[in-house]
Amino acid sequence: MPSETHIEIRDLRLAYGTREVLHGISLDIRRNEIFGVIGPAQSGKTSLLRCINRTIDFSPEASVAGTITVDGEDVRGAKDLYALRRKIGMVAPLPVGLPLSIYDNVAFAPRCAGMNRKADIDAIVEQCLRQAALWDEVKDRLDSLGTKLSGGQQQRLTIARALSHQPEILCLDEFSIAIDPVTTMRIEDVLKDLRKNMTIILVTNLTQQARRLADRTMFLWNGEIIELGPSDTIFGNSPRDRRTYEYVNGLFG
Amino acid sequence: MSAGDTQPAAQFSFAVRHAKRPAWALIGERLLTALIYACGISAIFFVLSIFVFVFKEAAPVLFSDRFDLRQFLFSEQWYPTSEINKRYGVLAMTAGTFSVTALAMAIAVPFGLGAAIYVSEFCGPRLKETLKIIIELLAAIPSVVWGFIGLTVMSKLIVQFTGAPVGVNILNGGIILALMSVPIIVSIGEDALKAVPDSYREAGIALGATRWQLVWRVLLPAAKNGLLAAVLLGVGRAVGETMAVLMATGHAVKIPHSILDSVRTLTANIAAELGEAPADSDHYRVLFLIGVLLFTITFFVNLAADMAVRGIRKK
Ligand SMILES: Nc1ncnc2c1ncn2[C@@H]1O[C@H](COP(=O)(O)OP(=O)(O)O)[C@@H](O)[C@H]1O
Ligand SMILES: [Mg+2]
């Protein structure tokens, strides 16, 4: 069981304008674990991820208080913001295929990082597409537009892209919302494989998915942590909080 | 809904299934369709009839023995009012139009696109509003005012800084046309960039792109069609502009050798001479033929642009 702290969040408060959506949450995410985050819509799950990789900076009305450290470094004082963001791979609920070819989608981050030897980029593109279980389907048409792929393929493309900068942390935000169950299971297998190399934060609307994959799970509700513990406890018959039991068993209201 | 609650089954009255739209609603839709159809057709009709009219005015001279099409296109001698030796060669004016337009675009495209990128991606919301208002004001300045600025302010500056004998020349006209095209390129280009979904920006940023990398690698490819449209409308303005270039370029019929030479453009020539040419004279008809030539140039520019857009889209 992994135990070293990878991401430390202390008293994180986030407000959009005057409306606070994260009310001072504290948690540790451990190296090489799959950390599940469950909770109803509007709980602040996506906002939490955006605070970690600081894409929250792009919402001018957002104000953040508290600290987040990754590998002991405070993300808000990050010396190299771009390096921080490359440390973190992000997969959005609906696949965002950049208007580029399949190859260029995956080569995007390495190129931004300053890599330009074709052979190196080729190798990364192939490796990431293989890791995302997409290589065999697209290896003959790497030059066609990424947006021409099917929904499930596009989501695997965004996973390949998120892996292209060799992140230490992979955040998945409800990645299976728009894809079929078979593809979902394939990606879940991929994730089990990836956790050898990275920490995975799995935000999911399917509680069963967290149950299948996550080592520990956090139940976030209205910007507060209701319960955080080993998945066995959260999904077992006697979690500490009654609301956890109700939510996990679909009785929440 | 919490555990144990049951809700009564929803009551359907099947009102939707039996609902019927009144007859006038269907007729109204038909009428509207017909009206929109008529609008579309009439747009084509008007453009065609303008072309036919211009061509008809030009035709008698075009098909007469006195007239040599090769001379018209490739001679630089324009002596329409000479008593003994009339010459209708427009090469110098074609060269004038192309040189002024090319210079204007060389200035306006980078400036316009740069400003569009700045306004859309880099500046704060306050400044953005101010800049957009200023840009719209610039777009509303009538062309004769621009011509006036060229004739007075700009020409003095040019004489002062370059030592050219006259300040009304390609440089002057090019700058004036650039100033007129920039607002169009900026405002349409900004719209095109604004239309790129924010999810692209966030995805690019999450992949570690800097703002510039985001612009180069994501926004420009995503907005290329709109940006091309912005540039084309800018070119269109520059090619078709008459009043300002008439005043700013010096009106000399000769093939230019430097940007400090005075030139005359096709449009300016028509504007200046049509009033003086006796109706139905050869001169009058040749001016209409220049109109046909302009039509043809614009047509090919549009065609080329259209093919470029298609080419880009296919990629
Ligand atoms: N850019 C934003 N501006 C204002 N409010 C936002 C923004 N993004 C999210 N919110 C609000 O923050 C709350 C949490 O949203 P979110 O983090 O998306 O929750 P979840 O991902 O759990 O559904 C919601 O009430 C949402 O309306
Ligand atoms: Mg969300």
**pLDDT tens for residues B43-97?**
999 999 999 999 999 999 999 888 889 999 999 999 998 888 889 999 999 999 9
The verdict on residue B247 lying in a domain is yes
Residues of B in contact with A113 (CB under 8 A): 208
The boundaries of the domain holding residue B180 are 93-314
Q: Look up residue A135 and give its amino acid.
A: W
State the average pLDDT for chain B: 89
In this structure, how many other beta carbons lie within 10 angstroms of the beta carbon of residue B305?
Answer: 16
> To which residue do tokens 């006036």 refer?
B148
Query: Considering the domain boundaries, does residue B84 fall inside one?
Result: no
User: Is the Cβ of A58 closer than 8 Å to some Cβ of chain B?
Assistant: yes
What is the model's pLDDT at position B10?
61
Do B42 and B100 lie in a common domain? no
Instruction: State pTM to two decimals.
Output: 0.82
Among A13, A14, A16, which residue has the most ligand 1 atoms within 8 Å of its CB, making it the best to mutate? A16
Residue B297 lies in a domain: yes
For residue B263, give the DSSP letter.
Answer: B
Subunit contact A98:B205, Cβ cutoff 8 A? no
Q: Report all structural domains of chain A as residue ranges with CATH numbers, in order of start.
A: 5-248 (3.40.50.300)
Residue given tokens 């020349």 in the structure block = B169
Selection from B93, B248, B90 nearest residue B178 by Cα:
B248
Same domain? B140 vs B211: yes
Instruction: Give the per-residue pLDDT at B229.
Output: 86
- Residue pLDDT, tens place only, B212-267: 999 999 999 999 889 988 998 888 888 888 888 989 999 899 999 999 999 999 99
Q: Give Cα B107 distance to the centre of its chain.
A: 15
Domain annotation covers residue B195: yes
What Cα–Cα distance (Å) separates residue A27 from each residue in A24, A69, A197, A242, B279? 10, 11, 22, 21, 88
**Which of A169-173, B19-23, B92-96 has the lowest average pLDDT?**
B19-23
Distance from CA of A253 to the nearest CA of B (A): 5
The pLDDT confidence band at residue A8, using thresholds 50, 70 and 90, is very high
Question: How many whole angstroms from its chain centre is CA B72?
Answer: 26
Helices (runs of H) and strands (runs of E) counted in chain B: 14, 2
Give alpha helix (H) positions in A13-117: 45-52, 81-87, 102-112
- Provide, rounded to the nearest whole percent, the portion of chain B with pLDDT above 70: 94
Tell whether B150 and B34 lie within a shared domain: no
Inter-chain CB proximity B221 and A99 less than 8 Å: yes
A229, A174, A221, A158: which is closest to A46 by C-alpha?
A: A174
- What pLDDT was estimated at residue B15? 74
**pLDDT at residue B309 is higher than 80:** no
Collapsing DSSP to helix, strand or coil, A154 comes out as helix
Same-domain check for residues B34 and B106? no
Question: What percentage of chain A exceeds 90 in pLDDT?
Answer: 68
Confidence of residue A136 (pLDDT cuts 50, 70, 90): very high
Dihedrals phi, psi of B313, to nearest 5 degrees:
-60, -40
Q: What is the pLDDT of residues A29-63, one digit of tens each?
A: 999 999 999 999 999 999 999 999 998 988 889 99
B306 and B168 assigned to the same domain: yes
Domain count for chain B: 2
In chain A, positions 63-92, which contact chain B (CB-CB < 8 Å)? 82-83, 85-86, 88, 90, 92
In a domain, residue B168? The reply is yes
Give the whole-angstrom CA distance, residue B115 versus residue B181.
12
Please indicate whether residue A177, judged by its CB atom, sits closer than 6 Å to ligand 1.
no
Residue A192: partners with Cβ closer than 8 Å, 6 or more residues away: A213
Q: Are residues B145 and B251 in the same domain?
A: yes
Distance CA(A128)–CA(A133), nearest Å, equals 9
Query: Are B162 and B51 in a shared domain?
Result: no
If you average pLDDT over residues B290-314, what whole number do you get?
82
Same domain, B207 and B136: yes
Q: Are B190 and B119 in contact (CB under 8 A)?
A: yes
Q: Is B76 a domain residue?
A: no
The CATH code of the domain that includes B254 is 1.10.3720.10
Q: Are residues B219 and B269 in the same domain?
A: yes
In this structure, are B51 and B100 located in the same domain?
Answer: no
Q: Are residues B102 and B166 located together in one domain of the fold?
A: yes
Write B259-262 long-range contacts (CB < 8 A, 24+): B259/B99, B259/B103, B259/B169, B259/B170, B259/B171, B259/B174, B260/B158, B260/B162, B260/B164, B260/B169, B260/B170, B260/B171, B261/B169, B261/B170, B262/B166, B262/B168, B262/B169, B262/B170
pLDDT band at B300 (very low <50, low <70, confident <90, very high): confident
| Chain A interface disruption, residue of B207, B220, B225, most A CBs within 10 A | B207
| Contact (CB<8Å) A251/B2 | yes
Given a cut of 60, is residue B1 above it in pLDDT?
A: no
Residue A223 CA: which ligand 1 atom is closest? 14
State residue B2's pLDDT score. 45
Residues B136 and B228 in one domain: yes
Q: How far apart are CA B59 and CA B12, in angstroms?
A: 72
Percent of chain A with pLDDT over 70: 98
Please indicate if any CB of chain B lies within 8 Å of the CB of A161: yes
pLDDT digits (tens, 9 = 90+) for A53-106: 998 988 889 999 999 999 988 998 888 888 888 899 999 988 888 889 999 999
Q: Is the ipTM of this complex over 0.90?
A: no
In a domain, B154, yes or no: yes
Q: What is the pLDDT of residue B4?
A: 46
Q: How far is CA B88 from the centre of its chain?
A: 28
Query: 10 Å Cβ neighbour count for A224?
Result: 14
Residue B81 lies in a domain: no
